[in-house]
Structure 1
């Protein structure tokens, strides 16, 4: 099943003109920030091939990112490793989402959030959608922006901290990453509240 504009069209019919799709990337990794994106698509300019970022190749995501940045309004937000450790990954993901919405050039009338929860403190009317990145075109676009931005961050961090494989595993707990943790130790970019890292410390 491909994402559609069904949710957006219902909201437009109700008088909400600017609909932002919001998604995050990086809840599961042991290292790096969590990154969120908010995207407001124009109904007349929807990039062809939008889908959940996990269902697309890196090359396809990069090509779609270029079109999204040209044709849509985009806001990006992050929560740091320190914030993840202080407030937990769920709250940090929601913080990144709120920052992404705040970074949009114009405030939205309504927000479609990937997941089953609305971020605490969000001041906009919002609808959570489970598996929203595969159901809503706006959330699909946000998932692509968030994933490509976070992958680029992890590639940069991999150059600073070689040996952990972040350029390919993006900080997820792969066998190679866990072996590097044992052999090379914990970096400042690791999430100390996550069990495999916490247990080492």
Structure 2
């Protein structure tokens, strides 16, 4: 298990921010990123990815990759989400991103209230960390934009669902497309709307997923 430490212990350490994107979606992989920023990195406009426009995220996506001391983007596939559940799959994606960093971090600040099962160093969970710590903000942007790019690619592979627009979230347009076309191979069948629809399509009585 990662060791929890006081943040003040690592004032001058290599601090990585970790965050994920796509936990609440009905389709597609979950993404994560890890970022180590230089002191005086000069990246303007960092914020929680959810508070930024798509254009601002795209600009920062390039800026972070150019100016960060180190960064890594990782993912957990739909099959892993189904097998492990979405929480553990998101933790796995963050773990993969953290271990891919070079140089290795000395502290990982993880957005949320829990840590991945393994990290390459000490770790600290920070609730709403993507609104507090610049490395987590940067990680949230990389994870979000990388996932958005993947959902646009999947839109071309599985047309008709609107993945490029809603990025896999359970919007009215997405649910209507699910009812019209049925689930695709990248839909998360353990998620209630997909599971319910599959049961309806097969003429079965609805059973709530465990």
TM-score range, shorter chain: over 0.9
CA contact (8 A) 2:104 2:120 kept: no
Q: Secondary structure at 1:51's aligned position in 2?
A: coil
Q: Secondary structure at 2:80's aligned position in 1?
A: helix
Cα 1:12/1:123, change in 2 over 3 Å: closer
2:29 maps to 1:64 = no
Q: How does 1:101-120 map to 2 (within 5 A)?
A: 101-120=98-117
Q: Secondary structure at 2:83's aligned position in 1?
A: helix
Indicate the structure (1 or 2) with the bigger Cα radius of gyration.
Answer: 2
- Rounded to whole Å, the distance in 1 between the matches of 2:67 and 2:44 is 12
Q: Over the residues paired in the alignment, what is the CA RMSD in angstroms?
A: 1.3
The two structures have a TM-score, normalised by structure 2, of 0.88
Q: Secondary structure at 2:118's aligned position in 1?
A: coil
Q: Pick from 175, 179, 186: which aligns with 2:176?
A: 179
- Rounded to whole Å, the distance in 1 between the matches of 2:76 and 2:96 is 9
- Rounded to whole Å, the distance in 1 between the matches of 2:24 and 2:161 is 16
Shift >6 Å, 4+ stretches? none
Offset of 1:156 from its aligned partner?
0.3
The two structures have a TM-score, normalised by structure 1, of 0.92
- Rounded to whole Å, the distance in 1 between the matches of 2:151 and 2:30 is 11
Tell me how many residue pairs correspond in the alignment: 192
Q: Which residue of 1 aligns with 2:91?
A: 94
- Rounded to whole Å, the distance in 1 between the matches of 2:120 and 2:55 is 36
Q: Which digits, 9 at most, give the CA deviation of each residue in 1:30-71, with x for residues without a partner?
A: 000000000000012140110000000111111111110011
Offset of 1:121 from its aligned partner?
2.7
Where do 5+ consecutive residues of structure 2 fail to align? 1-5, 199-210
Offset of 1:122 from its aligned partner?
2.8
CA contact (8 A) 2:105 2:120 kept: no
- Rounded to whole Å, the distance in 2 between the matches of 1:20 and 1:181 is 38
- Rounded to whole Å, the distance in 1 between the matches of 2:9 and 2:190 is 39
Offset of 1:123 from its aligned partner?
4.3
